[in-house]
Chains A and B, each alone.
Chain A
């Protein structure tokens, strides 16, 4: 079995709370998971679920209370390994007295690139994120979307093998999201391992080979987006057109829900043919028949609701 690009083993992080830091709050609990090389992995969870904490642990910005993690087979405490990793923090903020070109040049120096190599890389990265004309403007004059693009540029400046992105699409307008998504897809095509946190489920469904869902600091499930929600059909949906005023079709229209000029009828799998027969007899025009599968969003909301119910139950029992 090939070595995973990222692996965590019972990773746990507690934060001290209270006036004298006597209490602790668990932010991440026993997180064990693996991300394969070249995989695009979406780390999903609502706000406060522990996504950013996990990413900060991986980058050595904070330290685990217990457990361990490795990136490219090396422990996360090995700072030299950062030469192979790119990281975009959540809502990135950079030295606002620098221009984008100066910031990238500064970071390129930290990797030990020569002056000629720095110049070439900075120009290439600015072009890649669409900032070639704004490269000479101080970052204090940048919009949030532009800062996010600078953040992406600094994360991939050194051509890393693993790219870790914390909410890369957060706070962006649809055009900005599309641009960032295109960059991530390009990185994926280049064979890089991408590990990104998000709470925007459509992005995860569109970009990820695999997703992990974290709620309340605990990993609730890992798998391919369609696998994780379960492939089992939840019935069939028939879309049809009919005249509800007609005596023949009134009964069947009453069982369906109306959407614009069309009706949608949901039936169990084994009732599909009798339902189609009934519609044909009623003179309805059938437009489509499709299988109903749970979406990632439904799965996600189900997990969040479950976690909140458990938390409420614990609170009641403690009282």
Chain B
């Protein structure tokens, strides 16, 4: 575990020194501008607009960092040959992979937490008070973080065996496909052949189901989220990341480095 922690800490330090957290400045400016603008109008939808805008920004920024940094987690170390010295230490390949994954998840947790704090402050500025219902915003942020973790795991898997460009395409493709899982399971009324419907149905169970993580509308309207959904999504993300990381380990353990 010490070795996994060491790799994770170094991955976090790399992200910080590569100025990845600078995106927070953009987010802060966006939130400040939105809060000031919405504070001047009173149509009764300020909260809905601010929460939707804020959560969308948290999600998009987090996903962009997850994809573009995630695809370089392994391939960059191979291309730059920094991995040679690392693997000459008593570090198992799975420890390296889990450490890299944990390091980027830590980076994005810090990033997402900072953005969530900014969103709550903006909400306070617009509403002048915070209610119990506003806690749903934090649940929505937590779900975004779970979703981002799955995307990082997928990017890491592709990073183990293909180029950065292809990894970006594969990860982005899977993310988009993961948004339409329910549609893929309900093709019974479509004109597709039954065999194709069955095939799509099977594929839908392999794809990451990102629809369950989207509670933006509930958060915007302050609707409560059942505890069972929080547990279910947490278990799903942990299990999915575990399977993807195990697959990445199988691929990477057999790989001859250049």
Q: Is A93 an interface residue (CB 8 A)?
A: yes
**Within A90-130, which residues are at the interface with B (CB < 8 Å)?**
92-95, 97-98, 106-107, 109-112
Chain B neighbourhood of A93, CB < 8 A: 80-82
Interface string of B201-215 (1 = CB under 8 A from A): 000000000000000
**Within A46-84, which residues are at the interface with B (CB < 8 Å)?**
56, 59-63, 79-83
Minimum CB–CB distance for B101 against chain A, Å:
17
CB-based closest 3 A-B pairs: A87-B88, A109-B6, A89-B84
A61 touches B87 (CB 8 A): yes
Chain A neighbourhood of B82, CB < 8 A: 93-95
B81 touches A110 (CB 8 A): no
We find that the number of chain A residues with CB closer than 8 angstroms to chain B is: 30
CA distance A98 to B10 in the complex (A): 9
Contact of A95 among B3, B6, B14, B84 (CB under 8 A): B14
Chain B neighbourhood of A92, CB < 8 A: 81, 84-85
Stretch at the interface among B89-97, B130-138, B147-155, B220-228: B89-97
CA distance A93 to B80 in the complex (A): 7
Minimum CB–CB distance for A79 against chain B, Å:
5
CA distance A305 to B243 in the complex (A): 54
Known: A95-B10, A97-B17. A79 touches B92 (CB 8 A): yes
Q: Is A193 an interface residue (CB 8 A)?
A: no
> Most chain-B CB neighbours within 10 Å: which of A95, A111, A112?
A95
10 contacts between A and B (CB under 8 A): A56-B257, A59-B87, A93-B80, A93-B82, A97-B14, A98-B13, A110-B2, A110-B6, A111-B89, A112-B2
How many residue pairs at the A-B interface have CB separations less than 8 Å?
Answer: 76
Contact of B90 among A62, A79, A89, A155 (CB under 8 A): A79
B84 touches A62 (CB 8 A): no
List the interface of chain A (C-beta within 8 A of B).
56, 59-63, 79-83, 85-87, 89, 92-95, 97-98, 106-107, 109-112, 151, 154-155
Known: A95-B14, A112-B2. A107 touches B85 (CB 8 A): yes
CA distance A80 to B90 in the complex (A): 5
CA distance A98 to B92 in the complex (A): 22
Instruction: Closest B residue to A97 by CB, please name it.
Output: B17
CA distance A111 to B91 in the complex (A): 9
Q: Is B256 an interface residue (CB 8 A)?
A: yes
B84 touches A61 (CB 8 A): yes
Known: A62-B256, A95-B10, A110-B91. A151 touches B85 (CB 8 A): yes
CA distance A296 to B7 in the complex (A): 44
Known: A93-B81, A94-B82. A82 touches B88 (CB 8 A): yes
B89 touches A82 (CB 8 A): yes
Chain B neighbourhood of A89, CB < 8 A: 81, 84-85, 88
Known: A93-B82, A97-B18, A106-B6. A111 touches B90 (CB 8 A): yes
Chain B neighbourhood of A111, CB < 8 A: 89-90
CA distance A97 to B20 in the complex (A): 13
